[in-house]
Amino acid sequence: MADVVLFHHAQGLTSGVAAFAEALRGDGHLVHTPDLYDGQTFDTLEAGLAHFDKLGVDELLARGARAVADLPAEVVFIGLSLGVLNAQRLAQTRPGARGAVLVDSCVPVSYFGAWPAEVPVRIHAMDADPIYNDEGDAEAARGLVEEAPDAELHLYPGDRHNFADNSLPSYDAEAAGLLLERTLAFLRSR
C-alpha cells in the first residue's frame, strides 16, 4: 500500500478526480486529495485556467506545500494537468518522496532543480493533445525521461486533455483505464 497525494487539474477537485482517487483507494492505497481551489470547480478548462491566473503560480504552489505539510515524507505524488506543478515540484524537492505520476503535463526539470535519482517517475499523456504538445510539456517530458534513472513516458492515441476525468467531456475510457492499470502497478511497487 502506498501513501498518495493526488493534485487536481485546473477545473478543480471534480467528481472525476474524486473517482480516480477512489479507484486508487479501492486497491488499498491511502489517497489524499487536497482541494487547492477551496471547493470551486469549473465547467470548462478556460474558466479553470482563469481562476488559476487569479491565484497565480506562487499561491498554487504554496497551497500545495501547506496541503502536504503534516503528511509523512514517504508519499507518491500524482498530478493531473495543472496539478503536475505541485506533484512534480514536491517529488523533486521534498526529501523522502517515493515517486511521481504526471498526467497530461510536465514541467522542465530545471524549473525545480535536478531530478532526484532515487525518485521514479511515470508520465502519461495523449500523443496528439495540443496542450501537451504545443506548450512545451512533451519536450519537458522527453527531457525528464532522459535525465531520471527510473522514468517512463506513456503516450496514448488521441488528442484529449484531462482524458482521465470521467466527469468531463474530454474523458477517454480506454486511455483512462490503461492509465489506472499502469498507475496501480506503479503504486504497488512503491
Instruction: Give the per-residue pLDDT at 51.
Output: 97
CATH code, domain with 13: 3.40.50.1820
pTM over the 0.75 mark = yes
Q: CA-to-CA distance for 68 and 42, rounded, in angstroms?
A: 24
Q: What is the residue range of 179's domain?
A: 3-188
Q: CA-to-CA distance for 128 and 113, rounded, in angstroms?
A: 28
Please name every residue paired with 99 in a beta bridge, in sequence order, or none if there are none: 76
Q: Mean pLDDT over residues 138-157, rounded? A: 97
Please name every residue paired with 65 in a beta bridge, in sequence order, or none if there are none: none
pLDDT digits (tens, 9 = 90+) for 80-115: 999 999 999 999 999 999 999 999 999 999 999 999
Give the mean pLDDT of the chain: 97
Q: How many domains does the chain have?
A: 1
Q: Is the dihedral of CA 125, 127, 133, 138 positive or negative?
A: positive
Q: CA-to-CA distance for 10 and 190, rounded, in angstroms?
A: 27
- DSSP 8-state code for residue 135: S
Instruction: Give the per-residue pLDDT at 162.
Output: 97
